[in-house]
């Protein structure tokens, strides 16, 4: 039985601005997606029929609520493929953390099934299918660094020349993206002074300059409802991070360092906390 496997990487958001609510109910945003080497592993094999999700992780649904299941179903509907598949998900990226794990898994599922079923779909078609699954799924078709606009689907990819060592701390709190947007109080005065990120030539910025340009509009909301999380960012900054912030709509916080030793030392500050913590680097692998 033929089987294909690939890593599905997480991402962090280096800054995130919510510019306003759209007529379709979604929100226009501006952010930088940066993939990191905290990864799930997706393995897919063919089946005579049906879609089966296999995972030993309690937070991975095995039905149509799983984005990988929906990705396979969309590919079947688009291509007319009659065969099914078995999708094995080795989960490492925390769920509900703002790290994009579910979206990344779905993007890798699209890529692998395109090969497994010999569909021959090009990048443009896969992008359109990915967008139906979620606004940030298209980014994960080709992970790296990208400035994102619109609902997150308008991507300008660039080479991030900042060499960093990172920490990610997940406080075991699942935050729904829908909840975060529903409770966010938009500051329309910010929009008046809005300058596109590209104006700052983000690919030329030094890591120590990040605090001057980047912030996350969801951070104050998350800290208002979960004030105990203030300590996470404070400890990361205390340990010497050049930049720290919330990823996505939370609840994971990350810190970026120029020195590997400082990043690894920062993790030890959380040894007495019941949090999940990870040492990370940029993920630059180009998919097959």
Give the fold, CATH level 3, of 161-280: Alpha-Beta Plaits (3.30.70)
pLDDT higher than threshold 70 for residue 190: no
pTM of the complete model: 0.94
Distances (CA, A) of 264 to 222, 240, 257, 267: 26, 11, 10, 5
- Where do runs of H (alpha helix) occur along the chain? 67-79, 101-116, 123-133, 177-183, 188-192, 210-213, 219-225, 230-238, 260-268
pLDDT of residue 196: 72
pLDDT of residue 194: 56
Tokens of 74: 């969309």
pLDDT tens-digit readout, 198-244: 766 787 888 999 998 899 999 999 999 999 999 999 999 999 999 99
Percentage with pLDDT > 70 across the chain: 95
Rounded mean pLDDT of 144-170? 93
- Rounded Cα–Cα distance for residues 4 and 34 (Å): 25
Task: Please compute Rg for the chain using Cα positions.
Answer: 19
Q: Identify the three-state secondary structure at position 166.
A: strand
| Catalytic entry in 11, 17, 91, 277 | 11
pLDDT of residue 101: 97
Is 136 a catalytic site residue?
yes
Q: Among 225, 228, 219, which residue's Cα sits nearest to residue 249?
A: 219
> Mean pLDDT of all residues in the chain?
93
Confidence label for 131 from pLDDT (cuts 50, 70 and 90):
very high
Percentage with pLDDT > 90 across the chain: 84
pLDDT of residue 189: 44
pLDDT higher than threshold 50 for residue 264: yes
CATH class of 3-155: alpha beta
pLDDT tens-digit readout, 53-82: 999 899 999 999 999 999 999 999 999 999
Is 271 a catalytic site residue?
no
Average the pLDDT over each of 117-121, 158-162, 218-222 and give the range with the smallest value: 158-162
Q: Identify the three-state secondary structure at position 189.
A: helix
Tokens of 71: 């990705």
Which residues belong to CATH 3.30.70.890 in the chain? 161-280
Which residues belong to CATH 3.30.230.10 in the chain? 3-155
Of residues 2 and 108, more confidently modeled: 108
pLDDT of residue 204: 83
pLDDT of residue 188: 53
pLDDT of residue 163: 87
- Rounded Cα–Cα distance for residues 123 and 5 (Å): 19
| Catalytic entry in 7, 17, 105, 136 | 136
pLDDT of residue 245: 97
pLDDT of residue 25: 82
């Amino acid at each position: 039985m033929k089987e294909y496997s690939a890593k599905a990487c997480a991402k962090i958001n280096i800054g995130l601005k919510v510019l306003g609510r759209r007529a379709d109910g979604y929100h226009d945003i501006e952010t930088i997606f940066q993939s990191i080497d905290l990864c799930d592993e997706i393995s897919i094999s063919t089946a005579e029929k049906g879609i089966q999700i296999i995972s030993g992780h309690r937070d991975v649904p095995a039905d149509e609520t799983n984005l990988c299941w929906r990705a396979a179903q969309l590919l079947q509907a688009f291509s007319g493929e009659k065969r099914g598949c078995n999708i094995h998900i080795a989960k490492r990226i925390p769920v509900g953390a703002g790290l994009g794990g579910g979206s990344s898994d779905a993007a890798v599922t699209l890529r692998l099934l395109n090969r497994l079923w010999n569909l021959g779909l090009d990048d443009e078609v896969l992008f359109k299918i990915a967008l139906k699954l979620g606004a940030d799924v298209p980014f994960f078709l080709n992970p790296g660094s990208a400035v994102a606009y619109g609902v997150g689907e308008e991507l300008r990819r660039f080479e991030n020349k900042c060499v960093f060592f990172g920490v990610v701390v997940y406080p075991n709190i699942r935050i729904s993206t829908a909840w975060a947007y529903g409770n966010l109080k938009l500051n329309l005065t910010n929009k008046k002074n809005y300058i596109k990120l590209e104006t700052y030539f983000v690919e030329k910025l030094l890591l120590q300059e990040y605090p001057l340009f980047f912030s996350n509009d969801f951070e104050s909301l998350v800290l208002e409802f979960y004030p105990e999380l203030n300590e996470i960012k404070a400890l990361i900054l205390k340990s010497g991070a050049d930049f720290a912030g919330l990823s996505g709509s939370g609840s994971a916080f990350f810190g970026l360092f120029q020195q590997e030793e400082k990043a690894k030392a920062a993790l030890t500050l959380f040894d007495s906390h019941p949090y999940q913590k990870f040492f990370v680097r940029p993920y630059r692998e180009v998919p097959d």
